[in-house]
Structures are given as structure tokens and as C-alpha cells.
Chains A and B, each alone.
Chain A
Amino acid sequence: MKLIDLKDMEYSISGLKGFTFSEALRFWRTKFETVKHFHRDVITHPNLKELGSFMEGNWENIIPITVQEAFQEQNMERRRVMFDCIGVARLFQKLEPELLDRQTIGKKRTRWNEHNEPYEHDFQDSYELYRISGQKLFVFETFQRKPDAVYAVRCWCTTTGREYWIYVPEEIATGKTRWSSAEEKPDAIRAIAWTIRLDLSHPKRIYRQGDIIIAEETEDSKTVAPYHLTKEQYLELMFSES
């Protein structure tokens, strides 16, 4: 495939078609932290090798899109893609989100010394739950639908200290469905529990190393439809975290 073909093609980003080559370059530059991430997620077919080579040679010269540009975009579908590319951490840092809940919990987790002997590791872990109102993100020209708020839980890796922002669904963040009149009960622990999804019943315990989750089976364990952990399951099953 020649580069001239690449420039003439139409591109799909985050499920939306219709982007030009130059737009796609900037969106990808924004979405992926490094060209290696771009390769991992986009260059999934041998025919795209030329595009991969082009990006490698030009990555540093491509200008990422900004939050301000996203707000200037009048097409809401394109704006959604821009927000998707910008990412949850930068979006929440820029838009002064509303803090809904903050919890610090004392954890006792198993770790192992250099001889692989277990010991108990006590530490404090904090979680914060935030909301950005839909009006801040999307301006709808009709009154048919109120723009949706977005929610994210903020947490810190207890080993590396790195900060993470993870989007969670509204009903998990607030504890209520949209059509319910019940009061909101935001819960940052419920939100972080939701980020662990298993497909086995009766897990014995759970190990988490970064984004890798290991669930130990019991004799009663069976494969079931994937489900997200509840707060209670999270607090009961987490055995080791790092």
C-alpha cells in the first residue's frame, strides 16, 4: 500500500467513520501515549504496516488535539471521539469535576519475602469518586435528552504511586438507576470494585498485580456469565494487591 493511498483513505476512530488522514493522525497521537501503543491497537493487519512505519517516523511531529478544540467541535459525535482520545485523566483534571465521595481504607494484604514466605502487609488505600456534568461536556441543541454526566474513580497505585482515573457507569457511581427517584449514594469503593469482572462462581480469593487480576478457583467454581464485583465481594475476596 502506498502512502498516497493512505492519505486518500477515510478513517474510523473510536467507532466513528469519516476522518481524514491528517485528522486521524492527530486523534491517534492524542489517544495513544506512545507509538508503541498505537501499533498495538491500530496496526492489527499486515496491510497497515505502511501506516505503522509512517507513524513511527512522524510521531513526535504530530500535534495532539486539545480539550479546547474538543469544545469548539460542533458535531457531538466527533466531540465524543475527541473526548475519548483525550482520555479520562486529562478530561477530569481540566474540567473541575465534582467530588462525590472519598474513602480511605486500611488494608491487610498478603505479600511474600525473598524466600517466598508470606507476611501481612498493612497499608492505607484511598479512592475518590468524581462527576462531570453532561452540560460541561455536551451541548445539545434539542430538549429531547439531558446530556449524560460521566463518572470516574481516582486511585493511586500503592507500589508506584502512579495516579489512575477509571470511568465507571452512572448506576455504579451513584447507586441509583436514572429512572429511580431514590437518593444518590455515591460510593468510591463500590466504583473500584466494579472494575474487577470475573466469570467464575465461588472464587476463593483474588490477587491483583497492576491491571492483572488472578482469581483462585474452589472445587465449587463454575464458569458463569461475566459479572462485576460488588463492594462486599471486593472487600472480602482481595487477598493480595500490589
Chain B
Amino acid sequence: MNKQMSKRLVLGEGEAIGHKHVLECNRDIEFTRHTDCLRLQLRNLGILTHDEHAHMVLPVGFHRRYHQVEFNPMDNTVNRVFD
């Protein structure tokens, strides 16, 4: 769980056409990858954008990124959804 820094972070890739959920901040975003999430710290407002969705403004503080999940009745597992 090494801490990493970046001003631009891809939080997820959407459909095959390559749309991405991108978080940007004018100060470094500190983030660590965990088993179930990506934990990140914003030291200024973060702007989350995607070509097909309205943008969002995330406040200063700690946040966790997850993926929506679905059940697989064929093998009774829980897996992430790809939009």
C-alpha cells in the first residue's frame, strides 16, 4: 500500500470507446491502493470528469473509490460492474 501522488488520477475506464473517469486537482492527490478500494486525499477541490456524465466537485478530505458491483448467479460471486 505505497502512497502515490498525482494531480491527475484515472479512477476508472468505461466502455470500449475509452471514456475515463478522471479526477484532477491543482495540488497533488495522495492515494493508496487497497484490496477493496482506492483511498485518496484531496488537499484542494477535486474535479471528477467523464465524457458522458456530468462533472462532480469533491471537497478537501479523504475519499474512497469503489466500483458498483453485481451478483453472478452462475457461480454465486460478487463482481464489479463495467458501465
Q: Please report A residues at the B interface, Cβ cutoff 8 Å.
A: 14-15, 33-34, 36-37, 80-81, 83-84, 88, 111-112, 116, 118, 121, 148, 150-151, 157, 159-160, 164, 166-169, 172, 195-200, 207-217, 221, 223, 226, 228, 240, 242
Q: CB-CB < 8 A to B52: which residues of A? A: 159-160, 210
A-B contacts, 20 of them at CB < 8 A, read A14-B75, A33-B16, A36-B16, A80-B75, A83-B74, A112-B56, A116-B45, A116-B57, A121-B54, A160-B52, A166-B70, A196-B66, A198-B64, A199-B36, A199-B37, A211-B12, A213-B65, A215-B63, A217-B62, A226-B36
Task: Name the one of A36, A37, A118, A159 contacting B53, with C-beta atoms under 8 angstroms.
Answer: A159
Main secondary structure of the interface of B (DSSP, over half): strand
Q: CB-CB < 8 A to A14: which residues of B? A: 74-75
B54–A168 touching, CB < 8 Å: no
Task: Name the one of A80, A112, A196, A210 contacting B50, with C-beta atoms under 8 angstroms.
Answer: A210
B81–A84 touching, CB < 8 Å: no
In the complex, what's the smallest C-beta–C-beta distance from B8 to chain A, in angstroms? 15
Cα-based distance from A200 to B63 in the complex (angstroms): 10
Q: CB-CB < 8 A to A112: which residues of B? A: 54-57
B82–A211 touching, CB < 8 Å: yes
CB-CB nearest 8 A-B residue pairs: A211-B83, A242-B54, A217-B62, A34-B16, A210-B83, A213-B66, A242-B53, A84-B74
A198-B64, A209-B50, A212-B66 are known; give 10 further A-B pairs, CB within 8 A: A14-B74, A37-B82, A121-B54, A195-B69, A210-B21, A210-B52, A211-B67, A212-B50, A212-B67, A221-B62
In the complex, what's the smallest C-beta–C-beta distance from B63 to chain A, in angstroms? 5
B64–A200 touching, CB < 8 Å: yes
Q: Please report B residues at the A interface, Cβ cutoff 8 Å.
A: 11-12, 14-16, 21, 34, 36-37, 45, 47-48, 50, 52-59, 61-75, 78, 80-83
B74–A195 touching, CB < 8 Å: no
Shortest Cβ distance from B80 into A: residue: A211
In the complex, what's the smallest C-beta–C-beta distance from B48 to chain A, in angstroms? 6
A240–B56 touching, CB < 8 Å: yes
Cα-based distance from A209 to B57 in the complex (angstroms): 11
Shortest Cβ distance from B65 into A: residue: A214
Cα-based distance from A151 to B12 in the complex (angstroms): 27
> Quick one: given A159-B52, A210-B21, A212-B11, are A198 and B66 in contact (CB under 8 Å)?
yes
In the complex, what's the smallest C-beta–C-beta distance from B11 to chain A, in angstroms? 5
Cα-based distance from A226 to B65 in the complex (angstroms): 13
B81–A195 touching, CB < 8 Å: yes
Q: CB-CB < 8 A to A199: which residues of B? A: 34, 36-37, 64, 66
Cα-based distance from A215 to B56 in the complex (angstroms): 13
Q: CB-CB < 8 A to A198: which residues of B? A: 37, 64, 66
Task: Name the one of B36, B56, B83 contacting A207, with C-beta atoms under 8 angstroms.
Answer: B56
Q: CB-CB < 8 A to A212: which residues of B? A: 11-12, 21, 48, 50, 65-68
